[in-house]
Structure 1
Amino acid sequence: MSALAHHHTPALRRTPHLLRVLAVAVAAVVLLTTALADIAAAHGSTISPASRNYGCWKRWGSDFQNPQMATQDPMCWQAWQADPNAMWNWNGLYRDGVAGNHQAAVPNGQLCSAGQTGGVRYAALDNPGAWQATRVSSNFGVTVHDQALHGADYFRIYVTRQGFNPQTQRLTWNDIELVRETGRYAPGAGTRENDPVLNGVSNTISVSAPGRSGRHVVYTIWKASHSDQTYYWCSDVTF
């Protein structure tokens, strides 16, 4: 009996370790399943300058458990900790049934999360801080990726007014200025992307935002043409 007990003791001691390994494996499967589901329900985002959650996914999607993110990219770190699905589902930041009444659907302080669409999934995107920013000049292009070939009734592009500080302030409607509104884009119009993750078409919209320096936010609204579905994205830039 004692020999039998001694024979099984190491296996019993390994049980907690095996359970931890199993838990990690299950979590990985859940994240992969979510990512695949999101790709299947693909929509789009601004890819240059990158929206907050697309940028976080692009930089860290293959290394999202790396603790170095906390110091190298702290705003992405807090977003990943709050809800990883905000990044895996970078292409689904939209609201249904807005009917063009954007300010009623998206409250002040929640512009980057599209009024906390989907509950609190995207809420961390509203938090002010040192988001990584793309350098731009007064005249620059905003590239929007239409992953599902929805087309657009219009794109509206806003830039924050001089004096707004995205590192300390949440974005409000009074903080942004409309710098460009486009006409209609037919479904499938644009340049086809070779990146298999994007797998759709992109359109670059030229905008001009003179009189600005330092950190700013580019706010893009995409009214898709296939239904009453509207997308909202915050992209951080430095003029």
Structure 2
Amino acid sequence: MLTASVACLVTWAGAASAHGSIVDPASRNYGCWQRWGSDFQNPAMAQQDPMCWQAWQADTTAMWNWNGLYRMNLGGNFQAAIPDGQLCSGGHAENGRYSAMDVPGAWKATDVRNNFTIKLWDQAGHGADYLLVYVTKPGFDPTRQAVGWNDLQLLTKTGKYAPGQYYSVNLSTSGRSGRAVVYTIWQASHMDQTFFFCSDVNFTG
């Protein structure tokens, strides 16, 4: 297991070649890093945040590299490249580093209303050709099911974003309540590099 000092070095090394993530509602690995990055060896995590606990145990670097969940050269053919049940890890991106993101369970969820906004933090200023934003369909239970393509409904496909630090997307659903996963695909503009994010939400009406 990494010591705190080594973990700090990993974090700053990653920042030098940073990419980005959905930070609100937080992606699974960004949320785990945000809540536990300064205290990742605390055994209380196992009870307080069990899905983050299993993720930290599976591969600590997935959280230190929360900004690197991407695949190269997919040519927009995402469904062919990423099998059902592996969407949250980008199809076991980075040799399976992020595979724990696919595990169903009681991930911490952000409360949102039927009209809500997502925010992407583009640390490296890659820009975006587009963002695709999906939500799981009513009846999908992320505590028991891994996300598959047929579980999703498209909320929006955006236009281009010039390189910047944050990109926001306003979204609208109707009559939703309870748990869901918001799935965001970020097609970066600097090369054919595609990022994949699962954000757990709880619709409050």
Normalising by the residue count of structure 2, what TM-score does the alignment of the two structures yield?
0.96
What is the match of residue 94 of structure 1?
70
SS in 2 for 1:81: helix
Report the residue type matching 2:200 in the other structure.
D
**CA displacement at 1:143 relative to structure 2:** 0.5
1:122 and 2:86 correspond:
no
Cα displacement string for residues 137-168 of structure 1 (whole angstroms, at most 9, x for unaligned residues) = 11100101111001000001000000000000
How far apart in 1 are the matches of 2:187 and 2:12? Answer: 25
Cα displacement string for residues 69-93 of structure 1 (whole angstroms, at most 9, x for unaligned residues) = 0000000000000011000000000
What is the match of residue 12 of structure 2?
36
SS in 2 for 1:80: helix
Q: Moved runs in structure 1, 4+ residues, more than 2 A?
A: 26-34
1:110 pairs with 75, 86, 91, which one?
A: 86
1:66 pairs with 18, 34, 42, which one?
A: 42
How far apart in 2 are the matches of 1:27 and 1:58? Answer: 17
What is the match of residue 186 of structure 1?
162
Rg larger for: 1
1:213 and 2:177 correspond:
yes
What is the match of residue 157 of structure 1?
133
What is the match of residue 80 of structure 1?
56
Contact 1:162–1:211 at 8 Å: present in 2 too? Answer: no
1:53 pairs with 23, 29, 51, which one?
A: 29
Report the residue type matching 1:167 in the other structure.
T
Q: What residue ranges of structure 1 are gaps of 5+ in the alignment? A: 1-23, 189-200
Normalising by the residue count of structure 1, what TM-score does the alignment of the two structures yield?
0.82
What is the match of residue 138 of structure 1?
114
**CA displacement at 1:105 relative to structure 2:** 1.4
Answer 1 or 2: which has greater strand percent. Answer: 2
Cα displacement string for residues 22-47 of structure 1 (whole angstroms, at most 9, x for unaligned residues) = xx8x8445433322221111000000
What is the match of residue 188 of structure 2?
224
Contact 2:70–2:193 at 8 Å: present in 1 too? Answer: yes
Report the residue type matching 1:55 in the other structure.
G
Per chain length, whose mean CA-contact separation is higher, i.e. which structure has more relative contact order (CA < 8 Å, sep 6+)?
Answer: 2
**CA displacement at 1:171 relative to structure 2:** 0.3
How far apart in 2 are the matches of 1:235 and 1:139? Answer: 16
Q: Paired residues, what number?
A: 203
Root-mean-square deviation (Å): 1.2
Map 1:20-35 to 2 at 5 A.
27-35=3-11
How far apart in 2 are the matches of 1:115 and 1:44? Answer: 18
2:168 pairs with 183, 200, 204, which one?
A: 204
Report the residue type matching 1:202 in the other structure.
Y
Q: What residue ranges of structure 2 are gaps of 5+ in the alignment? A: none
1:233 pairs with 189, 197, 201, which one?
A: 197
State the percentage of identical aligned residues: 61
